[in-house]
Structure 1
Amino acid sequence: MGASPHSRSAARRRLEVSGRANGGGIVEACRVIAASGQQYPDAGLVRERGSSMVKAYVLVVTNPGKTKLVVAGIKDLEGVVECHEVMGPYDIVVEVEAEQLSDIPKILSEGIRPLDGIESTSSLVTFPQ
Structure 2
Amino acid sequence: MKDPNCLFCKIVAGEESSEKVWENEEFLCIQNKYPVAPTHVLVMPKSHIRKQEVATPAVGGASSPYKNGEFWGKMMAAVFEVVRQLGLDKTGYKLVNNGAGYNHFEHEHVHVMGGSKTEPGGTT
TM-score of the superposed pair, with normalisation by structure 1: 0.35
The structure having more radius of gyration, on CA atoms, is 1
**TM-score, normalised with respect to structure 2:** 0.36
